Structure 1
Amino acid sequence: MKKIIILLMFLLIMPFVYAKEYHIPLLAVRETTSGFEGSTADLYLEIQKGKGRIFLDTYPLTKLDTQMSTRFAKEIACSEIDFDCSNYDFIYTIKSDSVIVGGPSAGAAITLLTIAALENLELNENITITGTINSGGLIGPVGGLKEKIDAASEIGIITILIPHGERTAEIENITIADYVINISIENKSIIDLIKYGKSKGVNVLEVSTIDEVLYYITGREIKKLNQTLEIDKEYMETMKSVTNGLCSKALNFQKELSINEFEDSDQKIFENAVNLTKRYKKAVENEKYYSAASYCFGANTKFAYLTLKQEDLTNSEILTKITEIKSHIANMNKVIDEKKLKTITDLETYMIVKERIIEAEENIDKVLDVENTTEKIYYLSYGMERLNSAISWSVFFDKGQKEFVINEEDIKKSCMDKIYEAEERYNYLNTFSLNNFEDTQKEINLAKNDLENGDYELCLFKASKAKANSDLILNTIGVEESQLLDVTNQKLDIIKNNIIEGQREGVFPVIGYSYYEYANDLKERDIFSSMLFVEYSLELSNLDIYFKEKSKKIDFNIDFDNNVVSFVLIFISGLLIGIWIGKKKPKK
C-alpha cells in the first residue's frame, strides 16, 4: 500500500508540461515556368531538453537544403544573447503551400525566432524579415525582394524588413510608375522597393543587424555600445614590429635599386613599388600597422623581382635558391605544427602563417614548371617574400589573453560547419543564375582538401573566406555603385561593435581587426577590395563562437495545460481518498 501511495504522490507532483511553440511568417520565392514568384511560409520553433541538436522539417521540401543555415542561425542567436544552448534541442518546422527555394534566405528570421523563444519575447506577426544572417548578427542580402513584397501584401503583412543596401531592384519589363528610378537600354527597370511597397500597402524598412530586427518585431531595445574601439596594446606592439621588419627591408631594397636604370616595363614595376612604400609611410602615421605591412609586402615582391632579375641567375643558381627555400619551408612547417593552440590568437596565427607557407611553396614549385626566365624570377621572388611574411607573422604565437579548450575535434567540426555554410551560399548564388564566383568554388574545394588531410585550422580559414566571397557577390545585388561606400561604412561600424564585444570577453581578433583596419584604409581608393576585406573581417572576427562556453543557462517559462493538470489532480485526489476510506473501514 505504501508503494502505491508513493507512486500516486509522484504522479501528483509530476509536471504536465508542453513546450511552447513560437511562430513567425516567412517570405520566400518559388520557381515557376515563367520565373520566380513570391510565396509565403510559416516558421515554427519548439525548444526541449536535449543535447544541443537541431531538427528541421520542411513541408514540402525546399529546393535548397536549409539545414546548415538553420544551424548557423541558431548558433548566432545563442551567441548574441550569451545563452548556453548545449542542453536543449531545437525543433524547427517550415510549412508552405508549394515548394520554395529555401537556403540561407530565412537565416535572419530563424535567428529572430530563436532569440524570441529563448527570451520569451512577444512577436508582432504583422512584421516580418527577409535576409541572411551573418557573423556578428549582420543581416545579409537576398534575392526576389519585389516578389516577396507582392506575397506579403496578399496575406496582410504590414511591414517588411529588408537588408540595408537592397532598396533598389531590377525588373525585366519597362514600367512607368512612381517607384521606377531608371529605365535601362536592356528593357529593364530599376525600382525603389520602399516606394513599390507603399504602392502595395506594405511598409518596407532597411535593417543592418539582428538587434534592429528585434527592436522592430519585439520592441526589445537596441544594444547601444557608444564606445571607442581601443586597439589591444599587445597587438599594436606586435604588429608594429612585423611592419618594421617588412618595411625596413622594402626601404633597403629601394635604396639599392634607385641607382639603377631599368627597361620601360621594369621601370613601371619599380615606380609601383615606390608608391607602395609611400602608402606605408602614411599608414604608419595613422598607426595602421597591418595596412602598412601589406603595402610593404607588395613592395618587397616587386623589389625582389627586380633584384633577382638584375642578378641574371643561371638555372643552377635558381635551383640552389629553390633548395634553400624549400628547406626553410620544411623547418617552418615543423615548428608551427608542433605549436599548441591555447588562444584564439594562436588559432588565427596558425591559419595565416600556414596559408602563407603553402602559397610560398606553390610559387616555388611553379618555378620548375615554367620555361620562361622572367616567369621563373617572378614566382621565385613571390615565393621568397611570402615565406618572409609567414616568418614575420609567426611572432603572434603565444599571444592573446583568454585561453580556450581548442581541441582537434572542435576545430574539425567548426571546419565542416563552415564548409556547409559556404556551400549553401554558393548554391544560393547558383539558384539566381548569378555568376563570377569561381573563386568561391575553388576556396571550398581547397577547404575540403584540408579537411581530408586533417589540417582543420586551415580548412576553417579557407571555408570562411569562401563564404565571404559569396557574401560579397550577394552584397552587390541591387546596390547602386553610389551606395557601396555607405553600405561598407555601415558594415565597418558593425565589425567595430563586434570587436568591442569580443574584447569584453577577453578576445581580440587579430585577423578580424587587421582586415577591418585594411578595409578602412582601402575604402576611398578601392571600394571593391575594401568590401572583400569587410566580408573577411566579419567571418573572422568571432571565431570564438565555435569554442567559447556561454555564461547563461536557459530557464524557460514552460506553459502548463491547466485543464489536464486539474483533471489529474482530481483523479489522484479521488484515488487517495478512496484508499484512505478503505483503510478506515472496520473489519467484520
Structure 2
Amino acid sequence: MARSLLLFFSICLILANLANAVEIVKNNSVSIYVPAVERTETGYRGVLARLETIVRPGSGHVFIDTFPLTEIDTQSSARIAKEAVKETLGIALEDVDVYFIIRSDSPIVGGPSAGAAMATSLLAALLNLSINQSVIMTGTINLDGSIGPVGGLLEKAQAAAAGGAGLFLIPKGQRIIYEQRTEKEKLPLGIEIITSHPVRIDLVTYAKEKWGLDVVEVENVREALAYFTGYEIKTHKVTLGENLELKNAMRELSNEFLREVRRELERVEQNLSNAFLSLREKRLVESLVRSAAEELDTAKKLFDSGLYYSASSRTFVALINCYYAMGLLDLYTARDASQSAESFLKDVSRSLEAAKSRIDELKARIDHVGDIEVIAIASDRISDADTKLREAWKYYYNDELESAIASASYALARV
C-alpha cells in the first residue's frame, strides 16, 4: 500500500502546473510566525517561532539558521520547500540563494511541520508580496507543492490564538483531531478513580468557539499563499488529452489505494461487530469508523471528478482512522492491554525499519534525477513517522495506551 501511494505522489511531480513562468525578485525578505510544540514536565504545549525567509542573488544554495537547534528533518524541509516553489512557479532558481532563519524563545520539538510555511514565505519573497501577519499555518511540504499532515494541531492552534492570529491554516483533511482527556471519579471512603481516554474534536468549531480563531484547511501552497497575501497564482491544469498515459497511471494508483483502504475499513467493521466493548469504547471506535467512511466517500467523489491527488490525500486520512480503530479494538479485547499496545508499537517499528532499508537500497541504485525526488519524498515521510513513533513510545511508558495507539497509527500510515 505504501509503495503505491509513494509512486502516485511521485508521478504528480511530472505534471506542469503553470502556463508561463513568472517574474521574480532576487533580493528580498519576508517574516512570518510558525507554530511549534515544546516539551514540558506535563506534556507538550504550543509556542510560536519567527521564520524569516531571505532571497539573494547566488548559485542555488539553501541555508538554514535555527536557534535553538532543531532536528535534521527541519533542515530537509527547507530544501524540499525550495523544490516545491520551483515546481509551483515553473522556474529553476539556479541563480538565487535562499536563507531560512528560525528563532524561538523555547526549545522546540524538531519536525517537518514548518515546511509549508517555508514554501509559502519563499513564494511571497520571490513574488514581492506583502504578508498578512494575522495568518499562521502549519503543515509539511511535498515536492509538488501539496501540504501534508502534521501532529500537535490543538497545541499549535492555541499558540496561534494566543499570539493574536485571526486565521490558522492546517493541512486538508485534519480538522478532526483527538485529545487525551483525564476524568476523576470520587467514591466513598476517599477512593478516587482516574481514567484517561481520547475525545474527538472538530478543530474548526472548537477553535472558533474557544478562542475566536478561524481554522481553514488548505491543500497546497498556492491556496496558502492566497490566504497570506491575497494573490492567486494562475495555474494551467493538465487535461486528459495532454498526457493520456500519465493520467491513466495516476488514476489506477489512486483507485488501487482507495480499494485497499476500503478493504481495511471492512476488516475493522467486521472486527467491531464481533467485539465485546464497554459503551465508551464502542462509541470511540464507531466514531473512528464513521470518520474513515466519510473520508472515503469524499475521496471517491474527488476521484470521480479526476482529482486523483486530492482523493489520495483524503484516503490517507481514512487509513489513519482505520489503523487507530483496529489498534483500539485489539487493545480493548486483549487480556493484557499493555502487552497488546507494546506489540502494536513493535509492529510499527518493524515496518518503519523495513521502509528505511528500502530507501537505503534505492539510494544505492540512483541513476536519474527523478530518483532523488522520490527518495526525498520517502525520506520526509519516514522522518515524520519516526517522530510520531517516538511520541507513541512516550505515551506507552506513561501508561497512556490509547494515545500511544493513536500516534503509532499515524506513523504506520506514513510508512
What TM-score bracket applies, with the shorter chain setting the length? 0.5 to 0.7
Shift of 1:31: 1.4
- 1:215 aligns with 226
Match in the other structure for 1:306 = none
Aligned partners of 1:113 and 1:48: how far apart in 2? 14
From 107, 111, 117, the counterpart of 2:125: 117
Larger Rg computed on CA atoms: 1
Query: 1:148 matched to which residue of 2?
Result: 156
Alpha carbons 1:43, 1:95 under 8 Å: kept: yes
Work out whether 1:446 is the aligned partner of 2:358.
yes
Task: Identify the residue that residue 200 of structure 1 maps to in structure 2.
Answer: 211
How many residues get paired? 269
Contact between 2:136 and 2:165, CA under 8 Å: does it hold in 1? yes
Given that 1:51 and 1:88 are in contact with CA atoms closer than 8 Å, whether structure 2 keeps it comes out as yes
Match of 2:97 in 1: 89
The answer (yes or no) to whether the contact 1:440–1:466 under 8 Å persists in 2 is: no
Match of 1:35 in 2: 43
Q: 2:177 and 2:233 mapped to 1: Cα distance?
A: 28
**Superposed displacement of residue 139, structure 1:** 1.0
In structure 2, what is the equivalent of residue 70 of structure 1?
Answer: 78
Q: Percent identity?
A: 34
Q: Residues 235 and 173 from structure 1, CA distance in 2 versus in 1: closer, same or farther, beyond 3 angstroms?
A: closer
- Residues 64, 170 of structure 1: CA spacing in aligned structure 2 closer, same or farther, 3 A cutoff? farther
**What amino acid is aligned across from residue 194 of structure 1 in structure 2?**
V
Deviation, 1:447, is: 2.9
Q: Does 1:160 pair with 2:72?
A: no
Residues 438, 456 of structure 1: CA spacing in aligned structure 2 closer, same or farther, 3 A cutoff? farther
Q: Which runs of 5+ in 2 are unaligned?
A: 1-25, 184-194, 257-344, 390-408
- Alpha carbons of 1:458 and 1:434: their partners in 2 closer, same or farther (altered >3 Å)? farther
Matches within 5 A, 1:134-283: 134-173=142-181, 187-198=197-208, 199-221=210-232, 223=234, 225=236, 228-230=239-241, 232=243
- The answer for the alignment partner of 2:341 in structure 1 is none
Preserved CA contact (<8 Å) 1:139 1:207: yes
Three-state SS of the structure 2 residue aligned to 1:172 is strand
Asked whether the equivalents of residues 60 and 95 of structure 1 are also in contact (C-alpha less than 8 Å), the reply is yes
The structure with the largest helix share of the pair is 1
| 1: CA distance, partners of 2:115 / 2:346 | 20
**Structure 1: which 5+ residue stretches go unaligned?**
1-17, 176-184, 240-287, 294-432, 478-527, 537-588
Q: CA deviation at 1:197?
A: 1.0
Partner Cα separation in structure 1 for residue 127 and residue 370 of structure 2:
36
- Cα distance in 1 for residues equivalent to 2:161 and 2:169: 14
Q: Which has the higher strand share?
A: 2
Q: Is the Cα–Cα contact under 8 Å of residues 128 and 159 in structure 1 kept in the other structure?
A: yes
CA RMSD of superposed structures (Å): 4.1
CA contact (8 A) 1:447 1:459 kept: no
Name the amino acid aligned to 2:160: A
The question of whether the paired residues in 1 share the 8 Å contact of 2:218 and 2:224 is answered with yes
Shift of 1:448: 2.0
Q: TM-score, normalised by structure 1?
A: 0.40
CA distance, structure 1, for counterparts of residue 108 and residue 211 of structure 2: 22
What is the one-letter code of the residue matched to 2:137?
A: I
SS at match of 2:59: coil
Q: How does 1:99-498 map to 2 (within 5 A)?
A: 99-173=107-181, 187-198=197-208, 199-221=210-232, 223=234, 225=236, 228-230=239-241, 232=243, 436=348, 438-452=350-364, 460=372, 463=375, 466-467=378-379, 470=382
What is the Cα deviation at residue 75 of structure 1? 1.1
Indicate if the aligned counterparts of 1:59 and 1:95 stay in contact, CA closer than 8 A.
yes
8 A Cα contact 1:45 1:90, kept in partner = yes
Residues 441, 466 of structure 1: 8 Å contact kept = no
